[in-house]
Amino acid sequence: FLNLANYIDEIIILKSSKKKIQKDFLDTINIISKTTFIPIVAGGCIRSIKDADNLINSGADKIIINKLFNENPKICKQISKRYGKQFIVGSIDFLIKSNKFMIYDSYTKKYYFKKINKLVDDLSKNGAGEILLQSVDKDGTGFGLEKKIMKEIKKKDFPIILMGGVGNYEHIIDGYNINNCEAISTANLFNFIGKEFINVRKKLERKFNLPKKGNQDIKKLKNYFL
């Protein structure tokens, strides 16, 4: 993570099991938070305010919530009230069935129809300060983002993040050019393609004339990376 600190803005750490948040996961967050300056977004099976408390006390800067927005949005509102909307990233898993965007429940392995724009607004009303849209179809493929999903969403005053399908730097550039898309999230480049994160950052710096992280002092960057 220290090697990546100059090339990414946040790192998302998700617990993949369905078990409640336990000490080993909190210890992992704590270790990572002490070895990098990268802001940490942590989540997976958040069910209570106590879970949120434990994550932030372990070093998380934000939490990511998915299922709890359906099960108990009241708790999401309470967490937001305690820590602020900027603390919660609302996550939506989606896929395409019969040419329609469907919401996917990773716990039940079922999917259902709900208008994406309305769901995004519902998550915002219940405490989410950002929305992460993850394509189940594209996840892990490296074939590119599901850009059409953004046509379903009207202009928002909060960030929308796209995830699923990034395989090279051109896919990130594609995301950069999508209306309403504020950021791109990828695990593929980090896990399978060696130093591609660093290569992506350098290529984006050249293409969009971005400040060169690591080569300029913090004062020159502070107004750009907020």
Task: Please report the pLDDT score of residue 164 as a whole number.
Answer: 93
Tokens of 20: 């409640």
Helix (H, G, I), strand (E, B) or coil at 106: coil
Q: In whole angstroms, give the CA distance from residue 76 to residue 189.
A: 31
Active-site residue among 93, 105, 157, 217?
93
Task: Please report the pLDDT score of residue 140 as a whole number.
Answer: 87
Task: Please report the pLDDT score of residue 2 as a whole number.
Answer: 46
Partners of 135 in the β-ladder: 94
Task: Please report the pLDDT score of residue 5 as a whole number.
Answer: 54
Please identify every stretch of the chain with a pLDDT value under 50, giving residue numbers as ranges: 1-2, 215-226
**Residue 89 · residue 63 · CB < 8 Å:** yes
User: Where on the phi/psi map is residue 109: left (φ > 0), alpha (ψ -120 to 50), or beta?
Assistant: left
Tokens of 21: 């948040």
Task: Please report the pLDDT score of residue 3 as a whole number.
Answer: 52
Q: Please confirm, yes or no, whether 121 is among the known catalytic residues.
A: no
Q: In whole angstroms, give the CA distance from residue 156 to residue 159.
A: 7
Task: Please report the pLDDT score of residue 210 as a whole number.
Answer: 67
Tokens of 69: 């927005």
Task: Please report the pLDDT score of residue 211 as a whole number.
Answer: 63
